[in-house]
Structure formats: C-alpha cells, structure tokens
Amino acid sequence: MTNYNQVYINGKWVAPSSTDTIEVWDSTDESVMATIPSCTAKEVDLAAKAARAAFDSWSALDAQERGKYMSRIGDGLAARMDEIASAISRETGMTKFLSQMIQVGLPINSFKQAAAIAENYSYSREVGSSLVVREPIGVVGCITPWNYPLHQIAAKVAFAMAAGCTVVLKPSEIAPIDAFILAEVIDEIGLPAGVFNMITGTGPVVGEAMSAHADVDMMSFTGSTRAGRRVSQVSAETIKKVALELGGKSANIICADLDTETFAKAVSSGVGKAFLNSGQTCSALTRMLVPKARLEEAEAILTAAGNAVVVGDPFEQTTHLGPLASAAQRDRVNGFIQKGIDEGAKVLVGGVGVPEGVSKGYYVKPTIFSNVTTSMTIAQEEIFGPVLSVIAYNDEEDAIRIANDTVYGLAGGVWAADKDHAIAIARRMRTGQVEVNGGAYNANAPFGGYKQSGIGREYGDYGFEEFLEIKSMQL
C-alpha cells in the first residue's frame, strides 16, 4: 500500500494543514491500495494564489516554449506507461491492455497534440479595422472523474497550460494515483513553479472552494450532471467561465435497411460500445434502437454476444470486462438492473448479482434488456455500468424521436445501408458526437455535449480555444 501524504503546490511537495486521509480501494480485491490527503480550503487558497502569481510570466512565454514543456510531459508519462496503466486498472477495473492504450495512450496524445496546437495556432486576425486576439483566460480550476482519470486530466490540464493558463487540479479521490505520477513527471521536467498545482480531497470541500475562489477565472469540470450543476451555481457568484462534460444516455440507431451480415455486425459491435470500461463511460451507447420487425433477430445476436463476454481479473489476457470502480458503484448498478426487472423489461443476458467465478472485487453481471420503453428508468437515467437497453421503434422518425427523448446529448451512433443516409440521421440527433456506420473514435476531434450533457468542448483546436479569451483592438 502506498501512503501519499503531500500535495503539489507552487512547484513543491507540501504537507497539507489537515492530517485527514482518504482511502483508495483496489476494485479487483476490495483492499486498500493507497491513502491520499484530504485537503481543505486552505490548500485551495494556496494553490490558487500560486497559480495566479505564475500566470503573468507563463502566459507571456513564447507558445513554442510552452509546447516544448507539454511534449516533455507526454514523454515522461510514456516512460511510466506500464506503472500508470496498472494503477488505473486496479482503481477502475479496466483491463490492463485497454488501460495502456486508452487510459495512458490517449493522455500522452493530448499533451503532444496540445503542444502542436500551441506552436501552430493563429492567435490574432484582422477583422475590418480591428485586430482580434486570443489570450489565455487565466487560472483554471480542473475537477476530474474516476472513470478515465488521466485522460480527463490531460483534456483539461494539457490544453489549458499549452494555451498559457495556469491550473489547479483536483483529481477524483477514487482514482488519484495517476495524478500523483503526473505531478512527479511535471516536477522532474522543471515546469515553472505555480503553473501546475495538484490538491486532493472531496468535492464538497475542495471542489466547492475551487469553484468559489476569486483567483480562479474558469472551472473545467467532468463528472455527474448533479455535481456539474453545483459547480455552475458556485462559480456564478464570481462570474467564472464554466466548461462542463457531464452525463449521457446515448442512442445507437440500427436502421432497418441493413443486410443480414451488416445488421449482425452493427448489433454485436453495439454491445462493446455499451460495455467499454465495464460501462463506466459517459459516452457509452447504452440505448440500442432496433426496428420492431427485426427485434427477434437482434435479440438472438445480442444474447450470443452478451454471453460471450468474459468477466474477470483485468490483468488476465482473456478478460473482456473487469469490475466496477467501487462498492457504491456496484450497488448502484445492481439497483438499476433490479429497477429494469421491476418495470417489466426483458432480461436477455445477466441480471442482478455476482458473475460466476469471482469471489472478490466489485463485479456485476453484464446485462442486456429488451422490451424497454422510453418511460422506463433504465431508458432515461445514466447507469454507468455494463447495462444495455434495447428499444424497438416503428420507423425512422420514431427512432430519431426516441434517440432525442432524454435530457442528455453527449454521444450517439447510427448504422444505415447508405452512408449519406446515415449522416442525414446523425445530423438530426441532438448530441455532441455521432459514430456513423462504426466510425472510429478520433482523439483530436471536439468532444462534448448538448443539453444536460454539458457546455463547451475538449480536445483539438476546439478544446484549446475553450481556454482563450477574445479581445478586440480597434485600430
């Protein structure tokens, strides 16, 4: 077990004022794998003031130089890839293979991409008689979740720092070890003091203090819609800019015109799209919409695909799905599965309880429901576990209506025989990103949501611009 007893403020490791600690649990065997400091508003104040003091010099630094720092951080993370991936697999339950590729590979890409954008971005342009310039917004408070911990940290920290901002990071207390490793990497490469600050603690204490602090110019938050609403409310007192990446209940429309082979491919691949990271993915395609006339065909494919999913130790190569991140999450997901049964959905695969062959760890049965209606809880609320709801539709208009019939709008998918037809449907889906005929994830494309899925975008040029203010100079 590792005991972290310091946090990173103003270029130094410092002991917090409180001796309170938070336990970090191993999702695979339910043991305590680490303890971290439970900081207070005092540490938030110190970190915010350090970030404020560092802002003028960091923002004035040539963008090429800022980019070089980001690139070196990426290299430092790459050197510790195996260590970081193993820690995140234990924290979140993601299989080790995917942790290396996603949980560490994508953050490395973010630091490298942020470096490239900073070095090549056009920070000014002439508009008539005016010179319009983009400048860093200031001190950015970053609050990140536990499901893709380092990936979400990089989405904020890399792009904010590359843009010339200084940051105060509060990582999730459920999966914080990668944040400590990132801070070690940043310390080793000699990033100027105060540009990056990392404090640990709970949302109600540290998150509230960050959102309220007068020296913080912007809050960037990823997590639940409920918590995001609170960040917005507190930030409004000081009129901060707020960027939010929140929940999702994303629809995957399988069109009626697919041939038998493509239909089977679309339906079976949809299981993986719902179950990625044991369903602990905000953009997971957790509602599959299939034509009523082909529902039985879909159910047969789904049953076979669901039963083929291997649940077990995330460090075993044969494992598809590991455990959930916490006991609370396991109990929450089982509660939703029971709710689905109680409300009359048909269980094709899984159900309440523990999968066969596991005795320890926060495991649940991967579950697929059919005969789901839009009024059911499992069709409306984000479950954040390996639960797929299959909803039958009458025609294309009905499918689009169902897809848009939630408070969320984060992601989506559509499969159709004709690509242009699929794109036309995708355009009508009120959501931030749509996979068309299985289109691959693009780590440099903008990511974010409509409606209660959030405000703003992350990654690429669009994510970079979130951290820039616009100034007009009339010449």
* pLDDT beyond 90 at 278: yes
Confidence of residue 357 (pLDDT cuts 50, 70, 90): confident
Residue type, 171: P
Residue type, 125: R
Sign of CA dihedral 158, 160, 164, 166: negative
Question: Cβ neighbours of residue 380 under 8 Å, at least 6 residues apart?
Answer: 249, 374, 406, 407
**What's the rounded mean pLDDT across residues 15-32?**
97
Cβ atoms of residues 23 and 32 within 8 Å: yes
**What's the rounded mean pLDDT across residues 117-146?**
98
Q: What angle do CA 367, 371, 374 make, to 5 degrees?
A: 100
Q: Which residue has the tokens 């944040």?
A: 179
CA–CA distance, 444 with 466 (Å, rounded to integer): 14
2-246+453-474 fold: Aldehyde Dehydrogenase; Chain A, domain 1 (3.40.605)
CA–CA distance, 319 with 100 (Å, rounded to integer): 15
CA–CA distance, 57 with 176 (Å, rounded to integer): 29
Instruction: Tell me how far the alpha carbon of residue 475 is from its chain's centroid.
Output: 43
CA–CA distance, 144 with 170 (Å, rounded to integer): 7
- Predicted confidence at residue 1, as pLDDT, reads 85
Q: Nearest 5°: phi and psi at 450?
A: -95, 170
CA–CA distance, 17 with 7 (Å, rounded to integer): 11
* pLDDT beyond 90 at 359: no
Domain range summary for the chain, segments of one domain joined by +: 2-246+453-474, 251-445
| Segment (H or E) for 32 | strand 32-37
**What's the rounded mean pLDDT across residues 23-47?**
97
Burial class (CB in 10 A: 0-12, 13-18, 19+), 249: buried
Q: Nearest 5°: phi and psi at 429?
A: -85, 125
Summary mean pLDDT of the chain = 97
Task: Please name the residue ranges forming H helices in 343-403.
Answer: 377-380, 396-403
DSSP 255-274: -TT--HHHHHHHHHHHHHHH
- Predicted confidence at residue 97, as pLDDT, reads 94
> What is the tens place of the pLDDT at every residue in 68-96?
999 999 999 999 999 999 999 999 999 99
b/e per residue 267-300 (b: at least 16 CB within 10 A): bbbbbebbbbbbbbbbbbbbbbbbbeebbeebbe
Q: Look at domain 251-445 and name its CATH class.
A: alpha beta
Residues serving a catalytic function are 245, 282
Q: Which residue has the tokens 């310390």?
A: 187
Question: pTM of the predicted model, to two decimals?
Answer: 0.96
Q: How many CB atoms lie within 10 A of CB 442?
A: 11
Burial class (CB in 10 A: 0-12, 13-18, 19+), 209: buried
Residues 334/335/341/345 CA torsion (nearest 10 deg): -90
What percent of the chain clears pLDDT 70, i.e. is strictly above it? 100
> What is the tens place of the pLDDT at every residue in 151-187?
999 999 999 999 999 999 999 999 999 999 999 999 9
> What is the tens place of the pLDDT at every residue in 386-430?
999 999 999 999 999 999 999 999 999 999 999 999 999 999 999
Cβ atoms of residues 408 and 382 within 8 Å: yes
What percent of the chain clears pLDDT 90, i.e. is strictly above it? 99
Cβ atoms of residues 246 and 143 within 8 Å: no
- Looking at residue 100, the DSSP 8-state letter turns out to be I
CA–CA distance, 89 with 222 (Å, rounded to integer): 20
* pLDDT beyond 90 at 59: yes
Determine the length of the chain: 475
**What's the rounded mean pLDDT across residues 242-260?**
98
- Predicted confidence at residue 287, as pLDDT, reads 98
Instruction: Tell me how far the alpha carbon of residue 255 is from its chain's centroid.
Output: 28
